[in-house]
Amino acid sequence: MTQYLFFSGKGGVGKTTMATATSIHHAVRGKKTLIVTTDPASNLADVFEQEIGHKITPINGVPNLWAMEIDSDVATKEYKERIIGPFREVMPEDVIASLEENLSGPCTTEMASFDRFIDFMEGNEYDIIVFDTAPTGHTIRLLELPVDWSKHIEQSAKGSGQTCLGPVQTIQDSKEKYDRATALLKDSARTTFIFVMRPEALSLYETLRASKELETIGIKSGQIIINGIFPVEVCEVAFFKKKYESQQQVIKETKEAIQKPIQYMLLRDNEVKGLLGLSDVALELFDGSRPSATSETGVLMLREAAVAHPDTDKLFLPDPGKGTKAIFFTGKGGVGKTSISCVAAVHIANKGFKTLIVTTDPAAHLGEVFGVRVGSEPARIMDNLFAVMIDQEQAFKEYKERTLAEARGKYSEDMVAAMEEELNSPCTEEMAAFDKFVRFIEGKEYDVVVFDTAPTGHTLRLLDLPFDYAKQVELMVSTNDSKGVKTETQNRFREIISLLRDRDRAVFSFVLYPESTPMMESYRAMLDLKKAGIETQLIVANLVLPEEVCVKDFFRNRRRMQMKYLKVINEKFGLPVLRFPMMQEEISGLERLKQAARLVL
């Protein structure tokens, strides 16, 4: 019987490293092992240092190990073809085109990736299948889908017989498959969820949240890996000593808060890459052997690339008369987007501009950073600064209520009931969140709106939505009656798209760590944005080790590695790079934020 291991946790916590190390551990012990990623910004290829792609690929140098990166684009194409293929011969071209267009919405993408992912849970070909899943928020949604979907399918079968998810016949054919998958996910004898976290308060908070959310849908299994712990022997300098102590405190709290087996993983002085590095991690993870504190690799001394501080004020402050400016901090989850967005927002507000900071992260922790409760209505943080969180579920409820309230005065009860049923679809959920998100840019109320966006894959989908929507709108039956509605909606989306493409009105910045994997991921994401006509304008390199505190070899090595990547980042992106130093304590509370803003911006 195949065992399933799911790695959960925000991106950037080391999920991929832990998942690959685990798969190597099992493979070398003779277990036939497959590692699959569903992360839209997958980096398995970077870690294994070989091409993988959207097919099951044997890993060079490790017997019994295969890997696959599910490419959501390819999965969608395959899924669409399965539906449309049979009609190619018998339907005219324009009908086929309209079918294809109809299947290009966000629902289809979600459906297709999920469908592909479930395929691995049929069959018994492997002893162990490791899923290096997408970041927390996305993971939760992905895993909750089978539950929502089977509910949705049952409901729709009773009602209109139509759903938002593609051909109802196809879904009916798959219903049993989805139910089987859900049952497997909940079977703790066969499925284990492994939460990877860093020894930081926010990370613990997120892990607790994620594990509780899974518990509510009946998934109780779980293990914890705490990754990136500072080795005590290298923490003599006060700066690191303090960090070490705060980490140990979080570790203690984790033990108290979560009744699950915990594994510990020390921070290394260099990045983990290639089979040697991964095997070393596997040894520590499973046999408890400590890594040597310093490695031989980081010895190449690099001169720090000359750093010009980018003109952040030019990027962040609004031009008079140009309307609201939108600033996006994007990048992998866990790289510090929230903290950096908050620092930027505090800085802009201090300059006298009315600023709103918006989080779209499903595992939002804006409130934690500000030390103030942040909800679905903008709350005042300080002079000129307001914060709001887009809660997808809440937005969905509001959107549904608004639509139904409008309908109640107009239509019969039966009609409203029919609408209510149709509105219970995952598509409506996406739409509702996006609708909210857009409103904050459209409103003229703020000079600047700073978005602490969701993890990369999610963000891109969110930003891609206007394009999908525009297409969706075109699908509406064109008659005189509906032309008014159509034009209005189309104009609205056209305006948003052109705003996002206007460098003076929207600024896209990538937050990353100066390390290989986050750099590669951001680079791919930047190219993706470019395809949508959006130019990235700034890179923020976070957690750069301050030179003056790096007196031990361990940290000197790590800093050298960072400097090496900062140089590569400069060359690869050709964009201004803002260095954000590692702070002695986590940035939370207004005073710390203000201090950080003064220091960095």
Residues that bind another protein (CB under 8 A): 83-84, 86-87, 90-95, 98-99, 101-103, 105, 107, 160, 162-164, 166-169, 403, 407, 410-415, 418-419, 422-423, 425, 427-428, 431, 435, 469, 472-473, 475-477, 479, 481-482, 485-486, 488-489, 493
Pick 286 or 411: Cβ nearer another protein: 411
Residues in the chain: 601
Pick 50 or 102: Cβ nearer another protein: 102
Q: How far is the CB of 143 from another protein (least distance, A)?
A: 24
Q: How far is the CB of 98 from another protein (least distance, A)?
A: 5
Over its C-alpha atoms, the chain yields an Rg (Å, rounded) of: 24
The first and second tokens of residue 321, run together, are: 């008369």
Contact between 280 and 17 under an 8 Å Cβ cutoff? The reply is no
Q: How far is the CB of 377 from another protein (least distance, A)?
A: 22
Nearest-CA neighbor of 396 among 414, 378, 376, 413?
376
Residue 598 CB neighbour total at 10 angstroms: 12
Q: How far is the CB of 96 from another protein (least distance, A)?
A: 9
Q: How far is the CB of 418 from another protein (least distance, A)?
A: 6
Cα→Cα distances 387→157, 444, 563, 587, 596, Å: 42, 16, 34, 17, 18
Q: Biggest alpha carbon distance in the chain?
A: 76
Pick 104 or 584: Cβ nearer another protein: 104
Q: How far is the CB of 171 from another protein (least distance, A)?
A: 9
* Concatenated DSSP letters of 167-236: -HHHHHHHHHHHHHHHHHHH-TTTEEEEEEE-SSHHHHHHHHHHHHHHHHTT----EEEEEEEPPGGG--
Place of tokens 């579920």: 393
Pick 217 or 473: Cβ nearer another protein: 473
C-alpha 308 chain-centroid distance = 30
Residue 272 CB neighbour total at 10 angstroms: 22
Q: How far is the CB of 218 from another protein (least distance, A)?
A: 29
**How far apart (Å, rounded) are the C-alpha atoms in residues 450 and 60?**
44
Nearest-CA neighbor of 566 among 578, 557, 582?
578
Pick 104 or 588: Cβ nearer another protein: 104
Q: How far is the CB of 370 from another protein (least distance, A)?
A: 32
Cα→Cα distances 226→18, 200, 203, Å: 10, 10, 10
Pick 307 or 485: Cβ nearer another protein: 485
* Concatenated DSSP letters of 514-527: SSHHHHHHHHHHHH
Handedness of CA 106, 108, 109, 111 (dihedral sign): positive
**How far apart (Å, rounded) are the C-alpha atoms in residues 510 and 329?**
6
Pick 163 or 456: Cβ nearer another protein: 163
Q: How far is the CB of 101 from another protein (least distance, A)?
A: 7
**3-state SS assignment for residue 116:** helix
Pick 400 or 524: Cβ nearer another protein: 400
Pick 102 or 279: Cβ nearer another protein: 102
Helices (H), 424-539: 426-442, 456-474, 480-501, 516-531
Q: How far is the CB of 178 from another protein (least distance, A)?
A: 18
Please name the helix (run of DSSP H) or strand (run of DSSP E) that holds residue 259, with its range, or none.
Answer: none
Q: How far is the CB of 85 from another protein (least distance, A)?
A: 11
The first and second tokens of residue 205, run together, are: 């908070």
Pick 127 or 435: Cβ nearer another protein: 435
Q: How far is the CB of 20 from another protein (least distance, A)?
A: 39
The first and second tokens of residue 25, run together, are: 């551990």
**How far apart (Å, rounded) are the C-alpha atoms in residues 567 and 307?**
10
Cα→Cα distances 433→11, 217, 297, 384, 430, Å: 22, 22, 46, 25, 5
Contact between 575 and 536 under an 8 Å Cβ cutoff? The reply is yes
**How far apart (Å, rounded) are the C-alpha atoms in residues 138 and 146?**
14
Pick 28 or 168: Cβ nearer another protein: 168
Q: How far is the CB of 84 from another protein (least distance, A)?
A: 8
The first and second tokens of residue 117, run together, are: 């992912």
Q: How far is the CB of 106 from another protein (least distance, A)?
A: 10
Pick 478 or 498: Cβ nearer another protein: 478
Pick 60 or 162: Cβ nearer another protein: 162
Pick 79 or 573: Cβ nearer another protein: 79
